[in-house]
Structures are given as structure tokens and as C-alpha cells.
Amino acid sequence: MSSLRRHSLAEQATEAIIELIEQQKLRDGDSLPATAEIAEMLDVSVPVVREAIAALAAIGLLKRQQGRETTVSIPDSSHMSRLLRLRTVGADVDDERLQQFREIVEVGNASLAARFRTSVDLLALDDAMEQLRSVRTTEELHAADVAFHAAVSRATTNDLCELTLESLEPLLWRLRRRVWTGWVSAGGKLDSIIEAHSDILEAIRAGEEGAAARAMAAHLAQARAGLETPVTQDHSFTGLNEQLLSAP
């Protein structure tokens, strides 16, 4: 690593420490070299390195504990989720744009899940499907829907797919409320939503990538129909609750 001589030394030191983590292939929980050692590597002062470490700790890349070595902390979905929430607020991302992104992510997930699913993945999907069939409250419906789509993302065996969907969940909670309210207002039935999930599962079980992608796209078309339907009861679950309570 070369020494740093330009302006904004703390920012440059921050990037250099990230490069150091990559070069040394440090894993979650591994110790970072001592602050003085890093300062010598970069030819900067110890306070500059401390500022850089503080910045990385603030975004979850490092973990500091009083009297102990600084360790590497691999960011999880909560870190990405915070960034996405701030981005959607700052860029004024509405439900339509969120729905567009969800369609890209989840249709791709379904296709990959059909290619890579294992027997363990199918068991998790079967469990999530049973959950969906037995829901009796809107809270249970939300939890079961999240569990099903999470199981699909895990079946992709692609960590980035799983991370992306997990990060989107806080935003999707808001979107689901809007979608389900619109779906019921338009006369949509809960049974058809559950059947759409079943179609996705069976295509994944059969290992048919194209069919799985089409089934997910068809399900998300239901979501889009709900999103595009004007609602008279602002985000009310009255109609949906009635369907849940009357289910056999």
C-alpha cells in the first residue's frame, strides 16, 4: 500500500483500510492491524487512522470495543436496508418505482431458485406455503408472505439475492399494505393470491426456470393491479380481514 499525500487524508485512509481488508482477505471477526501499524503503512498520523476507523465502524464495517482490538464486521441486510430507506426518502422513491425494482429482483430470484433449489429449500417453501394457507389475520398474512419470498431467495444459493430482498423488506411492508388494500378494493380474492404462490412453488419444485419466472411475474402482476387501484379507505385492511375471518 502506498503512502497518502493528498487532501482529505481521513477519507483516503478509510478507502485504504477497506483495501487492506480485501487484500488480507479478513473475515468477520478477524482483527484489524494495530492503529499505529496502519498509520505507518499509510504514512499518516494515528489520529487520521482513528478517524477513518470511526467512520468505518459507523457504517458497520468495523467493530470497536473498549480495550480490545478493532475487528472486521461484515455488513448484513440491516446496513443495506438503512441506506435504501434513506435513499428512497432523499430521492422521493414512490411505490411505483419500488414495485418496478421488486419485479426485477423477485422474477430473477424465482428463476434461479428453480435452477439451484435443494430438498432443504423445498421443505422450507412447503412450510411457508402451509403458513400462507392457514393465515387468519393480516399480521399472519404478512409474515407468511415474507417467509415464502425469503425462502425463494435462499433457494437461489446466491447471497446477494438474499441480501437484497432482506434489505428491501422494511420498504416492502409499506408496499404490501398498499397493494393488498387495492387488490381487495378491486374485488380480488385471497384465494387467488395463495394459488399464485402455489404456482411459483410447483415451478421451482419442477426445476423449470422459465415457468418459475412467469409464475412470479403473474403473482407480481396481481400486486401491480392492487397498486394501480384507487382505494377509498386509506390503507385499510377491512376487506382483507373479512376474507381471512371467513376462510374455512
Task: Give the tens place of pLDDT for each residue, 132-161.
Answer: 999 988 888 889 999 999 999 999 999 999
Confidence of residue 230 (pLDDT cuts 50, 70, 90): confident
Q: What does 4-39 look like in DSSP terms, one character per residue? A: --SS-HHHHHHHHHHHHHHHTTPPTTPBPPPHHHHH
Tell me whether residue 82 is exposed, middle or buried, using C-beta atoms within 10 angstroms of its C-beta: 0 to 12, 13 to 18, 19 or more. Answer: middle
Please check whether residues 68 and 82 belong to one and the same domain: no
Domain membership of residue 91 as a residue range? 77-246
Q: Which pLDDT does position 82 carry in this prediction?
A: 80
Please check whether residues 240 and 190 belong to one and the same domain: yes
Domain boundary residue, one of 55, 72, 89 = 72
Q: Is residue 174 predicted with pLDDT exceeding 90?
A: no
Cα 79 off chain centre by: 10
Q: Is residue 163 predicted with pLDDT exceeding 50?
A: yes
The pTM for the full model equals 0.78
With a pLDDT cut of 90, the percent of the chain lying above it is 62
User: Region 59-69: what's the mean pLDDT?
Assistant: 84
Q: Tell me, what CATH number does 23's domain have?
A: 1.10.10.10
Confidence of residue 93 (pLDDT cuts 50, 70, 90): confident
For residues 105 and 204, the answer to whether their CB atoms sit within 8 Å is no
For residues 15 and 2, the answer to whether their CB atoms sit within 8 Å is no
For residues 173 and 139, the answer to whether their CB atoms sit within 8 Å is no
Instruction: Work out the mean pLDDT of the chain and round it to a whole number.
Output: 88
Please check whether residues 154 and 242 belong to one and the same domain: yes
Q: Is residue 47 predicted with pLDDT exceeding 60?
A: yes
Total number of domains constituting the chain: 2
Q: What does 69-92 look like in DSSP terms, one character per residue? A: --EE----HHHHHHHHHHHHHHTT
User: C-alpha distances in angstroms, 157 versus 5, 114, 146, 152, 162?
Assistant: 43, 11, 18, 10, 8
How far is residue 101's CA from residue 91's CA, in Å, rounded to a whole number? 15
What are the cell numbers at 59? 457504517
